[in-house]
Structure 1
């Protein structure tokens, strides 16, 4: 997950950076200036922003959040601040942040807050809370990317990087161009949520990304994806070849 940070205290900024990296997330921008942070929102495509309220530049963190919203960004914002007074909180609340954390930061609380912010954002985008909650409990959310809950981290994987999904007992192994992950969902449940224009089932336990096909051997009924050979199930062959005429 791509995170941007605005924090005017250099020591605290370094601490925040260390904690975020240790959690396994990627920091794509860090600054002490609200104007620079505004540029980050527009150019770095972050998944989440951690904002201090007292920062340098032409506006404070709350004003920055309002500006970002006026520009149409819906990036989740978490305020991380030393301002514990009611007036500041009421002003911050008007920007509808995903959370308001008082310094010093509790590491576990920060990580849970980030996870909840990401989860809420994806629930909002898919506009079906019951279905989203079920999917999250089963370790995956799907939109134009999948968000895989892996140990204590949330990994964002664009669908274009998926190669193969293999059913493994009660799990599905997701093979990507970078890493492989296990999620606690059935292959059928995941397939129903993937774009049918890109993904096709070739075996009762295998779904492939058609754009990742390297070659097909019709004599052996196999297909090569990501350097690996997979069998094409007899009951899936005709439908698979028919789909290829439309997909490729």
Structure 2
């Protein structure tokens, strides 16, 4: 089972604590517990989650959970699982419009929630690749428009303050995108791209040379330091012939 980063949107303190404990026992990380619409949007912006559990009734918020989920999805693509004690038909129909991964009625069993989370994220990943015919390209916000780039042409991405520099095979100067690297990284498939550090995402297809503490990308003479915390995981992703 994947270990996921999960946002909990729940205004009942006891329920929120129970959910957090349940998720952490299952090996997941709770990125935040949000009680209101504004707290939820801030949490998504600060640390985009892999999945969100959303209570539909948020007593202390001007917007309910459905409206909150709709706005969160505009900021960040992810599966949504609604948690609610309301089985009202109209509420359910409104929730359906946001295309949730699941709709669980309280009280629910811990095992049920864990299974729904695993299924939701699995189908989200499958649908992302199967339903997107342009998955090998991106349209990036450049010069007051959107410019098409091929993922296979991206050498690496580097965070630069409030910007991300995107280095391409066929371009001498990198693109500068006003965006958080954590958010942008979700559009680059993990099959080819590796998050070397908080500020670097590299295309493994262009990894030319590997040394103990450094690596080299094709076309770039400057060595890139390998963080000690990333080296073991990087080596797992590569086919390395070792000396006896």
Asked whether the two chains share a fold, i.e. TM above 0.5, the reply is yes
Tell me which residue corresponds to 1:62: 66
Determine helix, strand or coil for the equivalent of 2:107.
coil
Residue among 95, 104, 107 paired with 2:107: 104
Q: Does 1:197 align with 2:206?
A: yes
Q: Does 1:37 align with 2:40?
A: yes
Tell me which residue corresponds to 2:13: 10
Q: TM-score, normalised by structure 1?
A: 0.55
Q: Does 1:88 align with 2:91?
A: yes
Highest Rg: 1 or 2? Answer: 1
Determine helix, strand or coil for the equivalent of 1:105.
coil
Where do 5+ consecutive residues of structure 1 fail to align? Answer: 130-142, 147-157, 163-193, 201-209, 216-224, 234-248
Determine helix, strand or coil for the equivalent of 2:57.
coil
Kindly state the Cα deviation for residue 11 of structure 1 after the two structures are TM-superposed. Answer: 1.0
- 8 Å contact 1:35–1:59 — kept in the other structure? no
Q: TM-score, normalised by structure 2?
A: 0.56
CA distance in 1, matches of 2:211, 2:32: 32
- 8 Å contact 1:77–1:98 — kept in the other structure? yes
Where do 5+ consecutive residues of structure 2 fail to align? Answer: 133-187, 198-202, 215-230
Tell me which residue corresponds to 1:145: 190
CA distance in 2, matches of 1:88, 1:211: 55
Alignment of 1:163-174 (within 5 A): none
Cα deviation 1:117-152 (Å, max 9, x = unaligned): 1111211222279xxxxxxxxxxxxx6437xxxxxx
Tell me which residue corresponds to 2:194: 159
Cα deviation 1:50-84 (Å, max 9, x = unaligned): 00011122200011122223x34212111011111
- 8 Å contact 2:51–2:78 — kept in the other structure? yes
Cα deviation 1:168-226 (Å, max 9, x = unaligned): xxxxxxxxxxxxxxxxxxxxxxxxxx84223x8xxxxxxxxx556448xxxxxxxxx75
- 8 Å contact 2:34–2:43 — kept in the other structure? no
Aligned-residue RMSD, C-alpha = 3.0
Change (3 A) 1:30 1:213: same
CA distance in 2, matches of 1:73, 1:101: 22
Determine helix, strand or coil for the equivalent of 1:50.
strand
| Alignment size in residue pairs | 157
Determine helix, strand or coil for the equivalent of 2:19.
helix
CA distance in 1, matches of 2:83, 2:89: 15
Determine helix, strand or coil for the equivalent of 1:145.
coil
